[in-house]
Amino acid sequence: MELSIGEMALIAVAIVVLFGPDKLPQIARDLGSGVRKMRGAVEDIKTEIMKETDNPVSEIKREIEKVKDAAKEFNPMKNIENDILTAPKDQNELPKPKPSEDETHEGPVSR
């Protein structure tokens, strides 16, 4: 919002007419104080925004730590071991002999 010199002069004349010349210094002080308070509030808001933008980074770091902890506890062999231990064994199946003990084993054939 830009004001031209004529518009500012019109506002100044309106203030003098409404409040009188004796109250102008007090109005200027109050206006300056209000502007300083607004600037301080804007700085506080900027600081809070900066703190909040840093916060997601720390949240991401916490999530990474959670994933690392879960990875430490993960044991893919546990399921395989459980399957082997709980699998029903077929009583009719004989164990296969080792190739060195099997007389019928011919080994690799070369041609």
Q: How many CA atoms lie within 13 A of 51 on its CB side?
A: 6
For residues 65 and 55, the model is more confident at 65
Structural domain contains residue 28 = yes
Structural domain contains residue 99 = no
Structural domain contains residue 9 = no
Q: What is the pLDDT of residue 16?
A: 87
Domain count, the chain: 1
Structural domain contains residue 65 = yes
Structural domain contains residue 88 = no
Q: At what angle do helices 24-73 and 5-19 cross, to 10 degrees?
A: 110
1 three-class SS = coil
Structural domain contains residue 58 = yes
Q: Which residue segment(s) compose the domain that 72 sits in?
A: 23-83
Cα–Cα separations (whole angstroms), residue 19 to 27, 84, 96 = 9, 94, 110
Q: What is the pLDDT of residue 38?
A: 95
Structural domain contains residue 104 = no
Structural domain contains residue 48 = yes
Percent residues over pLDDT 70 in the chain? 88
Is a pLDDT exceeding 90 seen at residue 45? yes
Residue type, 46: K
